[in-house]
């Protein structure tokens, strides 16, 4: 399991992304990661209808309920794979990022500046 000392984009301890629905690679509610998380589920984002449709079009339907998964709806927060978030950004459908709950490991895929520019909570920088 991931270390509890992981940091967010603000350089502070990683805050929870969502417990309802329960998110994260480890289903801890946080976007924590380690070497077993090959998808790097480290970007906490607030879902939008546009992103959910985009993700489904790429073969990852996050909206449809399945056993053990209620499906996501606009407004839900979820730990996304950094590469999928970047792909959505390139398609102009990236959902807004929650800085305090996004793992600093996301900067291995997307620059910190781009993540901040797409933040739902830019006031957390102050």
Average pLDDT of the chain, as a whole number? 93
Residue 99 CA: distances (Å) to CA of 76, 102, 103: 15, 5, 8
State percent of the chain over pLDDT 70: 93
* Residue-level pLDDT at 120: 86
The residues, any chain, with a CB within 8 Å of residue 85's CB and separated by 6 or more, are 43, 45, 94, 95, 97, 106, 109, 110
Whole-model pTM above 0.85? Answer: yes
* Residue-level pLDDT at 94: 98
């Amino acid at each position: 399991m991931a270390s509890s000392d992981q940091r967010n984009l603000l350089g502070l301890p990683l805050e929870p992304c969502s417990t309802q629905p329960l998110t994260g690679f480890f289903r801890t509610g946080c976007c924590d990661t380690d070497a077993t998380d090959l998808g790097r589920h480290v970007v906490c984002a607030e879902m939008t209808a546009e992103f959910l449709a985009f993700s489904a079009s790429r073969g990852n339907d996050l909206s449809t309920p399945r056993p053990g998964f209620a499906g996501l709806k606009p407004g839900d927060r979820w730990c996304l794979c950094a590469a999928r978030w970047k792909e959505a950004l390139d398609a102009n459908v990236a959902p807004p990022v929650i800085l305090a709950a996004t793992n600093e490991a996301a900067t291995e895929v997307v620059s910190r500046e781009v993540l901040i520019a797409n933040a739902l909570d830019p006031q957390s920088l102050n």
